[in-house]
Structure 1
Amino acid sequence: MRRWNHGKVLPVLLLCLSLLFLLAAPPFLFRRLKDKRAEDPFEPEKPEWTGILTLWDIPYISTGKGSTARWLEGPIRHFEKDYPGVFIDVRSLSTERLAMYLSGGKSNDLLPDMISLGIYEQPIPEDDLVDLLPGFPEKELDGIRDIAVERVLSGDRMIGVPWMMGSYGLAVKEEAFSDEDLTSSSKTLDYSSLNTLVKKMSFPKTSDGKKKDCYGFCSYADSSRPILSMIYGKDGKIEGDDGFSLLERWSREEGILPPDWEQFSYSTAFRLFAVEQQTGVLLGSSKIICDNRSLQQSGKGVAMQVFPVPMEKGGKFYQDQIAAYGVLRQDSSEKQKLSILFLRSLLEEDTQKQLVDLGMFSVRKDLQLYAEDEEMKILEESLSQAAAGPFGENRDRINAFWEKQKNREPAPVD
């Protein structure tokens, strides 16, 4: 009988088994790895809907510094990482360009998935905006400042997500405190002290052989109306409070207020205060602080102190600088859900802390962004007392008051 040569057969058998393994293993291992990735809790799941979400940012609020569109790049990168296959495009539009898109009953196909909400008027019909209240966690809502929540309520509907706030204050030139009876050490001013400072800073001045007027007080009105923070007082009453009465007296005294100051843009008012230095007190937003610091870096600007707007006992601060985005109704429920998730992500703690890059403030009650910045801290702390704004039922009443003041005859000079 012929004997098998085990020394030769065994290597051949092993070689055959190796070839069989190399041919069969790759598909098997690929399936195992694919299954493992699907089970990995740290691997983001691809959402049911993928594509591009669009957001139109309208500059209803001027940031202290920087660009909102550029700031949004950070939160967008984070969101796109969490939701593979979903991308967000941001477009900055002026109010005039938005009006063109909305004119003539144009198709909603041209409109974005998310859009800035107006303040003194709402260009987008509120019925076209998704009610976010049913799916919004109550705990998350309770952590937002009350005035910011009020900003996005329309009756019993929540038509947007508030994500950024500004604040108003008084910028007062240091030279106003040269007298012994006035001191800059106080953290607040009452209307009596403010009146003293304003009158002191109203005088003719000679510079380079030229005589020019220096005014005591100035403000501006563009997309926001800081002057209302001074005259919208206790219990929501406007006319008859101390701030309103003081402005009425100043308007009758020559040299206190610049001509046509009610029509000033921010840039005109700031230039008069910090560049031409013809105004002693400027009422406005955190942008004054940021812009003055930029000037000081180049050896310009003005030495100033910052104070909160005076408030009567039992009063409340008026605030119209609250940025919010709404979600337009969409055919795809999954796409709508992703839009809402992105807006909610803007409320996350790490994202809200980045608002310092815009020189703005958080809508969250539990965050203080400017503990080490005395000027910004003063404006930030006043937000805890902000409880009135042009929102809900107040909007029509405040707009009517504003139009009345714009159209009234100038007060006779005493």
Structure 2
Amino acid sequence: MRNKKYSPYRLFLCLLLCAFIIFGPFYFIENRPENKVEDVKETKWRGVITLWDYPHLDVKNGTRFGWILGKIKKFERENPGVYIELKPLDLKTGPYEIETAIKTKTYPDIAPVGADFTVIHQNILEPVDSYLTKEELNDYRPQSLAAVRYNGKIWGFPCMMTTYTMFLNLDLFHEKGVNPPKDGNWTYDEFVNTLKELTYDKDGDGENDIYGFNSFIGENDYNTWGILLSDGAKIFDKNLVYKFYDKKAVSGLKKLTDLKLKYKVTPKNFGQNTEREAWESFYKEKKVAVYPTGTWAVNVLNKLRNEGKGFEFAIANYPIGKKGTPVSICKNTSAYGIFKQEDKEKLNMCVKFLKFISQEKYQKELYRLGAFPVKKSVGEIYKNDRIMSTIEKNLVYTQNIPHHPNWLKIEGILQSQIRQVLLEEKSIQDAINDAKRKIMTYNEIAKKMNRK
């Protein structure tokens, strides 16, 4: 029999067919519709994207918006014809400005509302699940992902994490021969006894001028809530029914207000003072030994100390109550949400921008803001910073603010009642009862309004 000779072209086609038979099924399995992730790299869209954002103090240049502006410039260079228009928000008035913009339908394309459930509940954000691969989702810290997840969907791109902690003026501790809490943990009784020792009359005029503790009461600020919730009180149950009126709530509020009214370890104006007055009493006037605030303060205090204007400081957890562990509550995850878009290509570009600013190399720069990465792959960015490394380990004790659609109003009612107790205008029980009545009434009215 004569041997057949095959042309190189025919041989190539045979090999190609064999390869398709072997590897083809894997391709179709991997590219089934449910595994499809939107590709935003090749979008040709050009135009203006509006971004509203809160300030983040940048220790590198001392600016409040320098970090995000730097990322905007780089993104615009890499995407000619795309412009990110930044509108700065104030920390105090920003939530109300966003609320007004939603009511008047004048909201931006992007805002830091991806973990804000007062916004998520209104169904005005774009779900972004289809833009995140399984690998990307698995890379997020569970806390950060939980902050943007609702009804089985992802509503924003987490960018950074933070928390509240207690800052200690070690110079005042050492001056009085008082030891800071071992390993940063103390019970409420140990906490109070320490504050008593650090409250005294320094200049001999018969009036205390150094105080163990100071803080302030303000909306959107949760600096005292680690004490308020230390006995295990819950603001809502798992069904978001208001529950902050039981014995645990009463004892938590008593522990907070006793610092001023019973133990006298705070300045007399605690409860009516402003955030600025409280903060200055700690860092500038140096007359307060323990002050709770956000992790942004680490960079500020380090800078002051290095300039010879500050003091030696340390951090500690909130005092442990009947809950058995320290607790703090805050908006622990900063996440950007995208408001509903009519143009799919513009939506793709918004996603591309948010993925750009949260990529690994920029997550490693978060030390400039005193914040923590939301991605596990970034690793430890504070290996050489004992204080921030300790705070990062303590993130497990931080609760995110409740996922209630009326939280902004509810929190305002609670803060008002706390303030009235501190000013001796109400008893603890009256404040708890009044808060319950007002909050439940408001929730009923809001529910009826939503039905219309």
Alignment-derived partner of residue 417 in structure 2: 404
Quick check: 1:199 aligned with 2:196? yes
Q: Decide whether aligned partners of structure 1 residues 264 and 364 sit closer, same or farther in structure 2, where only a CA change above 3 A counts.
A: farther
Q: 2:82 aligns with which of 86, 107, 113?
A: 86
Does the Cα contact within 8 Å between 1:234 and 1:316 map onto a contact in 2? no
For 2:120 and 2:103, how far apart are their aligned partners in 1?
A: 12
Q: 1:145 aligns with which of 141, 155, 170?
A: 141
CA shift for structure 1 position 289: 2.4
Does the Cα contact within 8 Å between 1:219 and 1:269 map onto a contact in 2? yes
Does the Cα contact within 8 Å between 2:57 and 2:369 map onto a contact in 1? yes
Does the Cα contact within 8 Å between 2:114 and 2:336 map onto a contact in 1? no
Q: Decide whether aligned partners of structure 1 residues 146 and 260 sit closer, same or farther in structure 2, where only a CA change above 3 A counts.
A: farther
For 1:139 and 1:332, how far apart are their aligned partners in 2?
A: 27
Q: Decide whether aligned partners of structure 1 residues 383 and 183 sit closer, same or farther in structure 2, where only a CA change above 3 A counts.
A: closer
Quick check: 1:132 aligned with 2:108? no
For 1:350 and 1:249, how far apart are their aligned partners in 2?
A: 46
Q: Secondary structure at the match of 2:282?
A: helix
For 1:167 and 1:398, how far apart are their aligned partners in 2?
A: 18
* Fraction of identical pairs, as percent: 22
Quick check: 1:342 aligned with 2:353? yes
For 1:193 and 1:105, how far apart are their aligned partners in 2?
A: 47
Alignment-derived partner of residue 268 in structure 1: 277
Does the Cα contact within 8 Å between 2:52 and 2:108 map onto a contact in 1? yes
For 1:295 and 1:194, how far apart are their aligned partners in 2?
A: 26
CA offsets 1:31-79 (integer angstroms, 9 cap, x no match): xxxxxxxxxxxxx9763211221211134xx547444532013333443
CA shift for structure 1 position 132: 1.8
Q: What is the letter of the counterpart of residue 145 of structure 2?
A: V
Does the Cα contact within 8 Å between 1:164 and 1:324 map onto a contact in 2? yes
Moved more, 130-139 or 191-200: 130-139
For 2:206 and 2:383, how far apart are their aligned partners in 1?
A: 43
Quick check: 1:188 aligned with 2:185? yes
Larger radius of gyration: 1
Q: What is the letter of the counterpart of residue 127 of structure 1?
A: N
CA offsets 1:319-356 (integer angstroms, 9 cap, x no match): 32432221111221110111122212333211111111
Alignment of 1:12-411 (within 5 A): 47-59=43-55, 63=57, 65=59, 66-67=62-63, 69-94=65-90, 96=93, 99=96, 103=100, 108=105, 110-117=106-113, 122=118, 126-174=122-170, 175-177=172-174, 182-183=179-180, 186-206=183-203, 213-222=209-218, 223-233=220-230, 237=234, 240=248, 244-253=253-262, 255-311=264-320, 312-313=323-324, 316-366=327-377, 367-392=379-404, 395=407, 401-408=414-421, 410=424
For 2:295 and 2:148, how far apart are their aligned partners in 1?
A: 23
CA shift for structure 1 position 98: 7.7
Alignment-derived partner of residue 8 in structure 2: none
Q: Secondary structure at the match of 2:352?
A: helix
Q: Decide whether aligned partners of structure 1 residues 272 and 375 sit closer, same or farther in structure 2, where only a CA change above 3 A counts.
A: same
Q: What is the letter of the counterpart of residue 350 of structure 2?
A: S
Does the Cα contact within 8 Å between 1:64 and 1:360 map onto a contact in 2? no
CA offsets 1:104-156 (integer angstroms, 9 cap, x no match): 98864x53211122888847973221122343334323332333223323444
Moved more, 352-361 or 300-309: 300-309
Does the Cα contact within 8 Å between 1:53 and 1:87 map onto a contact in 2? yes
CA shift for structure 1 position 157: 3.9
Q: Secondary structure at the match of 2:310?
A: coil
Alignment-derived partner of residue 27 in structure 2: none
Which protein has the bigger strand share?
A: 1
For 2:103 and 2:400, how far apart are their aligned partners in 1?
A: 35
Does the Cα contact within 8 Å between 1:56 and 1:91 map onto a contact in 2? yes
Q: Decide whether aligned partners of structure 1 residues 320 and 393 sit closer, same or farther in structure 2, where only a CA change above 3 A counts.
A: same
Alignment-derived partner of residue 38 in structure 1: none
TM-score (norm 1): 0.75
Q: Decide whether aligned partners of structure 1 residues 256 and 121 sit closer, same or farther in structure 2, where only a CA change above 3 A counts.
A: farther
For 2:101 and 2:41, how far apart are their aligned partners in 1?
A: 42
- Report the count of equivalent residues: 366
TM-score (norm 2): 0.69
Q: Secondary structure at the match of 1:284?
A: strand
Q: Which runs of 5+ in 1 are unaligned?
A: 1-43
Moved more, 95-104 or 261-270: 95-104
Does the Cα contact within 8 Å between 1:308 and 1:378 map onto a contact in 2? no
Q: Decide whether aligned partners of structure 1 residues 154 and 54 sit closer, same or farther in structure 2, where only a CA change above 3 A counts.
A: same
